[in-house]
Chain A
């Protein structure tokens, strides 16, 4: 029997959302064709290098570039004199593209050189003479907070960069009558984002004043905003183009190369490329802020948390940059994913003469999760409640109110706990010596928390019925272009293969405010694309309804064919209607759409507000084995249960989870940037070690789907949550395996060994 094609389309009405379609850009990445910023070569292009500070804190008395300028092959040297004399920043105007009076850390840019060859540029750096007057440096936030401490920024009293408070209920009253009170202090270390692609950009300033920048950025519109302010250029003269970005994890919006590149191109009249080397990446790019966290928690004998009093000290580094945002996130999530009646939090971000902290996957929450979840385990152990149960007892659920006074709607936290326990076979008390399970959970936000967040999109229909999506959403490897293509295809009713999502170009793409940050793109850019696709679809269906004299609302598009409700034979092709808009009407069908989130700024005194756009929850279970001879922690398995709302592309999500856990394990065990007097001592992969293929345990992603009312197709962002609870899960597993608890990261063999020794000698280990 001959099959009716229309019926076949309806029968196969395959859901694109929920399917692991191959990534839009996977094949060009497999062949090496994909161009990254450093792969751009333009005619006449020069190669740039950046001179950074020799000191952690010093006054600049003089910069003499004359010798460098005379070196054959050098075409331009720039310093603060070449840029508008102003300070700027995302939250606080404390940073200048080029250091002028002072350097405040080793990464401060003093000058930049462009030459015909990279080696000449390197040689020229050595010829720049900078006269410094060294100033006393501050390398520990506790020192910065001392009354007689020198000021890193003269206009920032007390070296305080940011503060945050939460006041809910009455903690002191709860402490006064509580059965059990625990107080512990935790510390986390400095780590780098370590994208395998270092920061890079190519700038070309032409004689009309137009500047084009090919960048490795993860937030092009953010960058355009700052570059436009900092260089006093109208946005129409600044075009930022992204091709492919080799990983970012929040770290590639810090304008590490772009201002130098632009000014060198302007001065030389030639395109300039700057690619930072790995050492520079380790020493001068932004890092995960080290935190010191004191938690005082009251519980009753069943394990119900009655109050939590938390103090956070964030080592901001030399500039505020995005640190204030990190402090906000850490504060919002510090109490953990639990309903607690009484919460008090004081958080302070403190300047030091060290590397600048930025946003890094999880934005301050991996730090507070380590503290809060480690302590919760200690409490469970002491009062004799299973750590899984204590989490279930206190878990946020439908209608619960968070520390910031926000009601939870449509959340699946308990589901992640249950799934992680069931699938992992988690056991509280270890049966084998030196082996154990650990459990830890987290709460996060999808979409910028405590800030307005928005994105716009354009869906353009080509004459042949194929689709181009314009968005400012940068794909840094997380696969957002694929996700958005799936959303557009599903919404329009066309095939995935027929949807192309163009990489951001700030002249062409509509604005996306914060880029690849805050696990926001699936939700914020996704909703924008969905609404743009619906807009385009409406236009096509309107034309179709006129053409076939049927009601618009009775039409549907399936796999590129238009159907009248209840009929299995299609009326015609989507592409033909699109073509008919072109001829005879001369119209390109364009749909536009936007998304703005409902997030509200936190109250400065109480922290109370609807700050979180969408709540995200996860639970990790770790199984470890500890070698008592060496102190080495071997992670055997990680089960990572994430409530993703709706899994738009399951393979992509598994990949996000596996990659996030790798980052979480590095944070837990091996990664640690060591500085002495502000200078980084181990700026190599060899000495600051991330997990390799041989080090990695089995990672078992567990996808939980409790639909999110505000997400496209019920989805919520998952990218960052994946690395958040891992470190606490590992620390808790180490404690279960050995009986010793370590309150600072990383859990290095030395620390584990010394805590084992202390335990056997009967000393307290906390």
Chain B
């Protein structure tokens, strides 16, 4: 049975009819054309589909769309404000943490939730928390450096965005 759901995506209220077997990722990509969230495995093993649901990182390929009813979702598209990028996005660019970029949206979302929770996360904590996000290109070094850089900024109190 199809179901109507209402949720907030990147600050906008959205209502739509979904099939019970659709995942949140399927709805974000195929129905709302928010293609920043990627499908690397569809099985909860790569993290490229990571979005924030009520502030918590979720593999949107595993979450059924019906379960998103009433929730607040943030995707990569909701992170930058116009052309003003989030500090994490800036750090990823500056540190050379982006190669093919397919894992990047998921990485950035996981990193955001991590720093929201633990603003001065250590390199080791970053590595542990981000172990669910696979990257085949970078070897992770520069990704960890980018997240650390922002963690450093947060600690220094010069961070105000997102």
The dominant DSSP class at the A interface is loop
Q: What is the minimal beta-carbon distance from A504 to any residue of chain B, in angstroms?
A: 15
Complex contacts, A33 vs chain B, CB 8 Å: 36
Residue of A nearest to B37 (CB): A32
Set B38, B43, B75, B96: member contacting A20, Cβ < 8 A: B96
B131/A26 in contact, CB under 8 A = no
Give complex CA distance A195, B100 in Å.
Answer: 9
Within 8 A of B (CB), among A17-49: 20, 22-23, 25-36, 38-39, 41
Complex contacts, A34 vs chain B, CB 8 Å: 101
B38/A246 in contact, CB under 8 A = yes
A659/B136 in contact, CB under 8 A = yes
Complex contacts, A39 vs chain B, CB 8 Å: 29, 35
A696/B141 in contact, CB under 8 A = yes
Set A119, A245, A652, A693: member contacting B143, Cβ < 8 A: A693
A196-B48, A246-B101, A249-B136 given; A275·B39 CB < 8 A: yes
Residue of A nearest to B106 (CB): A196
Give complex CA distance A655, B140 in Å.
Answer: 9
A246-B38, A658-B142 given; A685·B45 CB < 8 A: yes
Decide if B139 is an interface residue (CB 8 Å cutoff). yes
Decide if A690 is an interface residue (CB 8 Å cutoff). yes
A305-313, A338-346, A471-479, A596-604: which one contacts chain B? A471-479
Q: What is the minimal beta-carbon distance from A659 to any residue of chain B, in angstroms?
A: 5
B40/A196 in contact, CB under 8 A = yes
Residue-by-residue, is B96-110 near A (CB-CB < 8 Å gives 1, otherwise 0)?
101111111100100
Give complex CA distance A476, B137 in Å.
Answer: 10
Give complex CA distance A32, B78 in Å.
Answer: 10
Chain B: residues with Cβ within 8 Å of the partner, total of 57
Within 8 A of A (CB), among B72-112: 75-77, 79-80, 85, 89-90, 92-96, 98-105, 108
Most chain A CB within a 10 A radius of its CB, from B128, B132, B139: B139
A476/B100 in contact, CB under 8 A = yes
Most chain A CB within a 10 A radius of its CB, from B48, B80, B99, B142: B99
Decide if A651 is an interface residue (CB 8 Å cutoff). yes
Chain A: residues with Cβ within 8 Å of the partner, total of 60
Decide if B42 is an interface residue (CB 8 Å cutoff). yes
Residue of A nearest to B97 (CB): A655
Write the residues of chain A forming the contact surface with B, with a CB cutoff of 8 angstroms: 20, 22-23, 25-36, 38-39, 41, 118-119, 193-198, 244-247, 249, 275, 277-278, 476-479, 651-652, 654-655, 657-663, 684-686, 690-696, 699
Given contacts A476-B100, A655-B99, A699-B139, 7 further A-B contacts (CB under 8 A): A22-B93, A23-B96, A31-B89, A32-B104, A119-B19, A196-B40, A196-B134
A-B contact pairs, 26 of them (CB 8 A): A20-B96, A23-B93, A30-B89, A30-B101, A32-B104, A36-B35, A38-B35, A41-B35, A119-B21, A196-B40, A197-B38, A244-B100, A477-B99, A477-B102, A652-B96, A658-B142, A659-B99, A662-B135, A684-B43, A691-B139, A692-B140, A693-B131, A693-B133, A694-B130, A696-B141, A699-B139
